[in-house]
Every structure is written in C-alpha cells, then in structure tokens.
Amino acid sequence: MVSFIAENIKKNIRQLEGTVKKIKAYQEVEGARPNIAIAKRAISDIMGDNPPTPVTVENIINEVSRTFNVSPADIRSEKRSANISQARQVAIYIIHEVTNLSLSAIGAEFSNKHYSTMIYSIKEMENKLATNMTLKATVDDIIKNINE
C-alpha cells in the first residue's frame, strides 16, 4: 500500500499528508484495516478529478511577480530598476528551466528581447544561484509552487 501511495503522489507533500489522514479516518470510521482500495479512495478524494494546472509563462510570471512584489507588467517591461531586473531574470531562468520554449519564444514574452539577451539572463542567474543560497531557495520555492 505504501508503494501504491508513493507511485501516485510524487510532487505535493500536502496531498501526501492529506491521503494519510484520510486513510486513518477511513480506518477509524469503517473499522477496516488500511488496504489498496482505501488508499485509492483516499487519493481520489484528495486529488479529485481536477487535472493539475498546466505550467504556463503567465503562471510563472505571476508567481515571480508575487514573490518579488513587482507587477507582471513591470517584469515584461523595459524597466531597469534592480528589483524589476532581478525579477525578470528569475522569470526568464524559470521559464527556461520548466518549459520547452525556445530562447526566441521566451524573448518574445519579454518585449521581444533577442535570444542572446535570454542567454545572458540565464547565465547571470546560474552564476547568482551558485553563490546566493537565499536566492536559490527563493527560486526553488517558486518552481515548487508553479508545479503544484
């Protein structure tokens, strides 16, 4: 049964915790020992029939916007203030990491920036992430949030 749960819930710890609590509740209410049928029922109750939200550029930019407290329009703009530039670089990096978009397509999302600008932004972020553990944790959290 543990293997079944692990195979079906891989990304979200809250869903895993919810499933375990549901199984325990079924056990207490029905007096049945935990089994695969109860695990299936608990998983379907927790996950519902809703497919996961697809990862889109819009979702990524919105999550970065919320995290860095700048507007999505500013992230996509030509503005060069430090906080907006950093948010933009984070968004570009994450879009590159979690989508299959080409660098040209990513650039098109940011005021039609040239793909070489995307390469520069991605390399800058890789360098920053290698030395700034706080920024790395923030980027990892954003990626986790958009994948849930």
Q: What is the sign of the dihedral through the CA atoms of 61, 93, 15 and 69?
A: negative
Model confidence band, residue 13 (pLDDT cutoffs 50, 70, 90): confident
What digits encode the pLDDT tens for the residues 107-135? 999 999 999 999 999 999 999 999 999 99
Question: What is this structure's pTM?
Answer: 0.68
Long-range contacts of 77-80 (CB under 8 A, 24+ apart): 77/111, 78/111
Region 5-11: mean pLDDT is: 75
What digits encode the pLDDT tens for the residues 69-95? 999 999 999 999 999 999 999 999 999
Q: CA-to-CA distance for 74 and 87, rounded, in angstroms? A: 9
